[in-house]
Amino acid sequence: MTVRPIRSLAARSALAGLAAGTLAAIAGGGMLASAQSIAGFNSDAPVNYAANRIELQDKQKRVILSGNVDINQRDLRIRAARTTVAYIDNGGVKIQRIDATGGVIVTRGSEAARGDVAIYDFNRRVITMVGNVALLRGSDNLKGGRLVIDLASGVSSVDGRGAGSSSAVGQPVGSTTGGGRVSGSFTVPKRD
């Protein structure tokens, strides 16, 4: 395995391209957003990123960002302790998947999703968050074990299963039975 810090401008540009598509997808995770706003997120917008350390692992076709990872794309922001971006390079870099771990927070506008892990599968166009998932919009909140966002259909779902459930991460909700519950609190507007 070849691991080296990213020093060249070309390598940094490739990383920026990898991160751009990835972050847009995860960012599309304004997890509380309506299906319309999830489906309408511009994943071609420029992506800015910062981390304490960035490694390009050529042979494994992945990029590792670690330590206070902060990724921004327009109004989408992803923060995590560590992010791994897997890609293929067939004359051009194409992101396959991004994994964010360690206190993951995805925000878009006034909406936020928090969880232990976030995974974006570019081929399936699905974002999955697992482990202590919390969705927040103003004073409303929803908590569960797993959040799945289908970017193709714009449908998001939360269930009580966590990382230790019998269903694999990224599988459709309801594909297996699992324990756990979803809980939340919604604010009812005052009427005159």
In terms of pLDDT, which residue wins out, 165 or 153? 153
Its pTM stands at 0.67
Residue corresponding to tokens 């206190």: 103
Q: What is the DSSP string of 28-80?
A: TT-TTS-HHHHHT--TTS--EEE-SEEEEETTTTEEEEEEEEEEEETTEEEEE
**pLDDT higher than threshold 70 for residue 70:** yes
Give the closest residue to 24 by CA, choosing from 85, 68, 82, 81.
85
4-177: CATH topology is lipopolysaccharide transport protein A fold (2.60.450)
Whole-angstrom CA distances from 27 to 5, 23, 56, 155 are 26, 6, 22, 15
Q: What is the mean pLDDT of residues 110-124?
A: 84
In terms of pLDDT, which residue wins out, 131 or 42? 131
In terms of pLDDT, which residue wins out, 170 or 61? 61
Q: How confident is the model at residue 8 (pLDDT cuts 50, 70, 90)?
A: very low
Mean pLDDT lowest among 62-71, 82-91, 161-170: 161-170
| Number of C-beta neighbours around residue 77 at 10 A | 20
In terms of pLDDT, which residue wins out, 163 or 63? 63
CB 135 within 8 A of CB 158: yes
**pLDDT higher than threshold 50 for residue 7:** no
Residue corresponding to tokens 């401008």: 9
